[in-house]
Chain A
Amino acid sequence: MKFPLTMAAIALAALMPPADAAALQESGDPLASARWAEMARTFLAGAPVLFDPRVKVIAPSTAENPLQVPVTVDATALPKVQEVVVFADFNPIVQVLRFFPEGSDAYLGFRVKLQQSTPVRAAVRTADGVWHVGGTWVTTVGGGCTAPSAAAASREWQQRLNEVSGRQWPEGPNAGRVRLRIVHPMDTGLVAGTPAFFLEEIAVADAAGQRLMRVQTFEPVAENPVFTLHRGATAGPVEASGRDNNGNTFRARIAP
């Protein structure tokens, strides 16, 4: 099915490779999800929307472990990315995270918990106010949001809560990459007797205090979250800081 494009989209398409331009569409969800209309109302209300192949959402088509489904969002082909919101249409808690790539590339790798097979999408807002949407279907046996965290079975994490480990790759094929892991149960609150307990806010800044990225995280982010980001051309140590919904904070330095 082909959908007519507005003038703005036609102008945009003229600047893109023909294959990408042909895939642009302003209506008609390419993932054919029954919940798309609701998703669009919830997250993108009132703003122009474009399904855009330049928003790459990478995830396994079949996820073996619904508690740790790897997702990579790469919107580096888009100019002036302001904000990226990631959501999964059929998850009981739909919103996964939002990130603001202030001084870094519009790129983030992380892992999510999925309750059932669902589209996983990223909506990317550029400076002109347009939401560019990409996504992929992930098939999974499910149960990821209502299964207890590993932390629920062991008290060991309490001593290590919000402990950060991280590393930078200043050289080589992944130059500019930063990876960090934070010890946190990321309990969804959907398991009887275990209240929601999750990281809400993570910021990564350079040595001068200039923020590289801000991430708002929600319950579906997997336990002991691991993030992969690209800081760009800058060098030196970075500082990761943040807090969870109970007000526990962390601050850690990741050496170059």
Chain B
Amino acid sequence: MKRWIGPALSLFAGLANAAGFDYALRAQPVAPDVYAFIGRSEDFTPANGGNIVNTGFIVAPGGVIVIDSGPSRRYGEQMRAAIAAVTPQPPVLVINTHHHPDHFLGNQAFADLPAGALAATRQGIAAEGNSYAENLFRLTGDWMKGTDVLAPTRTLVGGTSEIAGRRLRLLALAGHSGADLALYDEASGVLFAGDLVFNGRAPTTPHADLAHWLAALDRLEAITREPGFMQLVPGHGAVAGDASALRQTRAWLVWLQQSLHDAAAAGLDMNEVLARPLPPEFADLPVAASEYRRSVGHLFPAAEQAVLQ
């Protein structure tokens, strides 16, 4: 009889985890003192709870710098626990790279520390944060329980600065959204690119300006050519030791821009644009078909307007 207790207990533990909404976050070492949590290359679903995003942290001499806080309060709490499993240093600052919900809705777990973001990101979260949170409730369900918007309180600006005793280069860019912050940690050579770079997943474009985005990618690619560069952490998808993910993102955006322009110039209606097949080079890219459909909705009206006189 007794030998059945062990398996029975582990079964219950499994059920408790399912009911407890465990994101199973494990810090992946990227470089000495630099870690990332890598999400799935999927759309938001009740199964993944919104864990489709990358977050990260840097263990600096003065404490831990947290880079994005994930899609929910639970994610933020579990992230904070996973950081504590790696270092006894306390977190001292949260940085939100941009105003999309999977990057800031875990801020509540770090409510005792300052949260910083670019000025336009702060405004975006204040203005749109609640509707984004509602949307994630709809898409992922109870994983979001207890999540409220906690907007960043400190304005960050571009430039190199000493944060918690670590020299960080903050790059105030735009294009994926109205304000995209990338961070380059000079000591480790790790570039946190935020959602300006997607790796192995089609980029999302709800607030994209493709011209600005392509210009931002050029700025980031210049950093990957610096002698100290080691790793790039994209906003979504695997960490890359070179500019390949950046080039993949650029290739998609260049194709998207050209394709929408050509479709508009040929006089196509939006339904005809939606029906166009993806080129073979993107056929196997995860979520390419769904992101293409969304991007047509986001970007085709402007492409169409540009060709109508």
Contact = CB atoms under 8 A, between A and B. Distances in A.
B304 A226 contact: yes
A68 interface: yes
Nearest to A72: B271
A59 B274 CA distance: 10
* Secondary structure type dominating chain A contacts: strand
B267 A59 contact: no
Interface string B265-280: 0111111101000000
B301 interface: yes
A240 to B, nearest CB: 12
A69 B293 CA distance: 12
Interface in B11-35: none
Contacts of A224: 301
Interface stretch (A18-26, A176-184, A243-251): A176-184
Nearest to A173: B266
B154 interface: no
Given A64-B294, A141-B138, A166-B309, A181 B304 contact: yes
Contacts of A167: 267, 307-309
Contact of B297 (A58, A65, A72, A255): A65
Interface in A153-182: 165-167, 169, 172-174, 177, 179-181
A84 B271 CA distance: 19
Interface in A165-206: 165-167, 169, 172-174, 177, 179-181
B271 A59 contact: yes
Q: Is the interface of B mostly helix, strand, loop or mixed?
A: helix
B296 to A, nearest CB: 9
A68 B308 contact: no
Sort chain A's interface into a size bin: 20 to 34
A60 B271 contact: yes
Contacts of A174: 266-268
A146 interface: no
A71 B270 CA distance: 8
A180 B307 CA distance: 11
Interface string B295-309: 001100100110111
Nearest to A227: B269
Contact of A68 (B266, B268, B293, B301): B301
Nearest to A110: B269
Contact of A172 (B266, B269, B274, B309): B266
18 contacts: A60-B271, A65-B297, A68-B301, A70-B270, A70-B271, A141-B135, A141-B138, A165-B308, A167-B309, A169-B266, A169-B267, A174-B266, A177-B267, A179-B304, A180-B308, A228-B267, A228-B269, A254-B309
Interface of B: 135, 138, 266-272, 274, 293-294, 297-298, 301, 304-305, 307-309
